[in-house]
Amino acid sequence: MDITKPIRRILTGIDDTGRSRIIEDGTSPSVRTVAERPGYRVTNLWATDSAPADINGPDIVAGLSGVLPPKNGSVIRIIDIPPEPKDPAERERAMKASFGKLFADAQHAPEPGQHPGMHTTDTVDYAILLAGELVAIMDEEEVTMQAGDVLIQRGTNHGWSNRSSEPARIAFILLDGQSQRNN
């Protein structure tokens, strides 16, 4: 899999005669990068703003900002994650830039000694590793994911680390959620 290529988004719909068809085939209108983290690319592909989702709803992905899906909605995104800098100061700078510029709505407050990418969201996330290798980091342990592995993240404090020498590509489907601890 060539993860340097942009993600191809193919959108289906129903035409005026009631027949299914491809209504769009190309790149997403919502691709974001951060200069302080070369090779890091976030491609938002689709978002919904209700549950159940309106299957004929408009394309709202270009207006999406931050990490969270719309209230009562969902978002699917693919993130390309380059190898993590070995230098701790550079790694922290890259993470702060990513969260400050792309994901300011995440609860990003790593404790001293924690990975600088630790954060929390009130979402249920389906994380599907498409290519490469990533380490999913929790407060108490971590697990190395290989291409094809799926992690279900349920509002936990977590981070992602690419400790390999190759870029990784991961798909995320985030569902708006609520935490009983916040009610």
pLDDT digits (tens, 9 = 90+) for 122-173: 999 999 999 999 999 999 999 999 999 999 999 999 999 999 999 999 999 9
Pick the CATH number of 29-182 from 2.60.120.10, 3.20.19.10, 3.10.180.10, 3.30.1360.200: 2.60.120.10
pTM, two decimal places: 0.94
Q: Rounded distance, CA 63 to CA 105, Å?
A: 15
Q: Rounded distance, CA 155 to CA 151, Å?
A: 12
Which residues contact residue 145 at a Cβ distance below 8 angstroms, ignoring those fewer than 6 apart? 127, 129, 133, 134, 135, 136, 151
Q: In the predicted model, what is the mean pLDDT of residues 22-47?
A: 96
Domain ranges of the chain: 29-182
Query: Is the pLDDT score of 181 beyond 90?
Result: no
